[in-house]
Amino acid sequence: MAIFDDVRDVVVEQLNVNPEAVKMESKIIEDLGADSLDVVELIMALEEKFDVEIPDSDAEKLISIEDVVKYIEKLDS
């Protein structure tokens, strides 16, 4: 779950939400209150944190925290 912890830390910092609010099933926009600019900044922060590049076409599919974690795990393998 180390990737989840890192993702949660980035989400908490970028969206200024309570860490307890960030769960695997949390939806970035609906549950965590992100707007489109927040999402762009979040993706950029995740790219920097994990040293990866997330194409816009993939970023659009990252709806929940679980989507983000699975995506990064896939890139990591």
* 35 in active site: yes
Q: What is the 3-state secondary structure (H, E, C) of 17-32?
A: CCHHHCCCCCECCCCC
Scanning the chain, the segments in alpha helix (DSSP H) are 2-15, 36-50, 56-59, 65-76
CA distance readout (Å), 70 to 1, 37, 56 = 11, 23, 17
Which of 9, 31, 35, 67 is catalytic? The answer is 35
Q: Which amino acids are annotated catalytic? A: 35
